[in-house]
Copies of this chain bind each other. A is one copy, B any other.
Amino acid sequence: MKARVHVMLKDGVLDPQGEAVRHALGSLGFEGVTGVRQGKVLDLDLEDTDVEAARARLGDMCEKLLANTVIERYDIEIG
């Protein structure tokens, strides 16, 4: 089973990396980019066969390792 997890900084948390990208795009002449937020994406191959069990396990993985839930939120897509 394939799963994709997005980990993004929560709204309101300063994102200097995204801000740097926005600024660099402006410098390259790309006008009208009013905001950029950068996060990470993880594509996982799992041996799980039960979607709901996999989703629960992925939630655990995010809480324990993949995301810093103080400042980051995650979302899980399966399949």
Contacts and interface: CB of A to CB of B under 8 A. Distances in A.
Given A8-B41, A39-B41, A46 B65 contact: no
A17 to B, nearest CB: 9
Contacts of A24: 65
B28 A64 contact: yes
Interface residues of A, number: 32
Contacts of A48: 32
A44 B24 CA distance: 13
Given A30-B57, A32-B46, A33-B45, 12 more contacts: A8-B41, A21-B65, A21-B66, A28-B64, A33-B46, A33-B47, A37-B43, A38-B40, A38-B41, A38-B42, A39-B43, A40-B40
